[in-house]
């Protein structure tokens, strides 16, 4: 089933006009999806642990019109070849900053991330502030002020019972495909690439209020109101620590917001992307977002 993940990703992204290329970055052979006009606003989007670029399908459908978007695969699940089969926080930061340099030269890049991808995006912005323009973080992992023993137990998947427990914090109501795909989910989260991420992530990789206070980029945060992995109170503390932030809470979803509410995620992402054009500014810290009828 894991071997089908690249095929499923291609089936979803190719109709959007996305094309996959290979990019050598150090000892990593990245598979990177590209879409949008070459001179469009530069974005790199980072998926979460155990997933692929498929996570970004709904936002890509909107961003591709006027943005140049790269979506690198961060593990063997999507076709990237790297030591350990998966990129953790440190290796991910190095790879993404080098990808940005190769692809966009001196142009500052905007970063979007989901879960682990958001963690990597924050660390990249802290490591190279002049090379990152803006951040949009969905269900972000990495915030230090949380119960990490509980989180670690939840993301350690060995049995179907572990999957059931994890689904309760991931979803308000699991989409039909994921309800039917519990065994595939277990295979993804017990794979070598996920074990590599879990085994190489250290407390020093996390970020707290002091690090967030150093972010000078505008930052949009998107959260599922029922997220049971990284809960909304942690999102509010993150937003309070960031000098220029806007927290959007999406109804009807939990941590897996890209699967439960893809249209809401895409529209909220596009709204944040548009509102953060121009120089950094103070924006409302917390807002509830619902899909407009158009």
Say whether pLDDT at 289 is over 50: no
Q: What pLDDT is stored for residue 284 in this prediction?
A: 42
Say whether pLDDT at 227 is over 60: yes
Q: What pLDDT is stored for residue 91 in this prediction?
A: 95
Q: What pLDDT is stored for residue 285 in this prediction?
A: 40
Q: For 10-68, write each residue's pLDDT tens digit.
A: 999 999 999 999 999 999 999 999 999 999 999 999 999 999 999 999 999 999 999 99
Q: What pLDDT is stored for residue 2 in this prediction?
A: 65
Region 2-288: CATH code: 3.40.50.1820
Say whether pLDDT at 279 is over 50: no
Q: What pLDDT is stored for residue 293 in this prediction?
A: 28
When pLDDT is cut at 50, 70 and 90, the band that residue 89 belongs to is: very high
Q: For 255-270, write each residue's pLDDT tens digit.
A: 999 999 999 999 999 9
Q: What pLDDT is stored for residue 1 in this prediction?
A: 57
Say whether pLDDT at 280 is over 50: no
CA distance 77 to 85: 8
Q: What pLDDT is stored for residue 178 in this prediction?
A: 86
Give a three-class secondary structure readout of the chain. Answer: CHHHHHHHHHHHHHHHCCEEEEEEECCEEEEEEEECCCCCEEEEEECCCCCCHHHHHHHHHHHCCCEEEEEECCEHHHCCECHHHECCHHHHHHHHHHHHHHHHCCCCEEEEEECHHHHHHHHHHHHCHHHEEEEEEECCCCECCCCHHHHHHHHCCCCHHHHHHHHHHHCCCCCHHHHHCHHHHHHHHCCHHHHHHHHHCCHHHCECHHHHCCCCCCEEEEEECCCCCCCHHHHHHHHHHCCCEEEEEECCCCCCHHHHCHHHHHHHHHHHHHHCCCCCCCCCCEEECCCCCC
Average pLDDT over residues 100-128: 97
DSSP state of 157: -
Average per-residue pLDDT in the chain? Answer: 92
CA distance 53 to 249: 23
């Amino acid at each position: 089933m894991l071997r089908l993940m690249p095929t499923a990703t291609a089936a979803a992204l190719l109709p959007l006009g996305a094309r996959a290329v290979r990019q050598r970055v150090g000892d990593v052979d990245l598979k990177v999806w590209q879409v949008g006009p070459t001179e469009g606003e530069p974005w790199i989007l980072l998926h979460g642990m155990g997933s692929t670029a498929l996570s970004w399908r709904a936002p890509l459908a909107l961003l591709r019109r006027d943005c140049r978007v790269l979506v690198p695969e961060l593990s063997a699940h999507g076709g990237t070849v790297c030591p350990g089969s998966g990129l953790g926080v440190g290796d991910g930061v190095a790879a993404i900053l080098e990808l940005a340099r190769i692809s966009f030269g001196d142009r500052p890049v905007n970063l979007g991330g989901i879960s682990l991808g958001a963690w990597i995006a924050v660390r990249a912005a802290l490591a190279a502030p002049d090379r990152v323009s803006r951040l949009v973080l969905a269900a972000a992992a990495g915030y230090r002020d949380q119960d990490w023993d509980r989180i670690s137990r939840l993301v350690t998947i060995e049995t179907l019972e572990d999957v059931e427990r994890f689904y309760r914090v991931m979803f308000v109501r699991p989409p039909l495909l994921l309800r039917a795909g519990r065994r595939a989910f277990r295979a993804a989260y017990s794979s070598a690439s996920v074990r590599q991420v879990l085994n190489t992530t250290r407390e020093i990789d996390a970020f707290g209020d002091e690090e967030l206070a150093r972010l000078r980029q505008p930052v949009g945060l998107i959260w599922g109101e029922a997220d049971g992995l990284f809960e909304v109170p942690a999102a509010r503390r993150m937003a309070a620590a960031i000098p220029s932030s806007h927290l959007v809470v999406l109804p009807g979803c939990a941590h897996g917001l890209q699967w439960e509410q893809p249209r809401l995620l895409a529209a909220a992402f596009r709204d944040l992307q548009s509102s953060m054009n121009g120089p950094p500014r103070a924006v409302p810290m917390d807002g509830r977002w619902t899909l407009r009828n158009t």
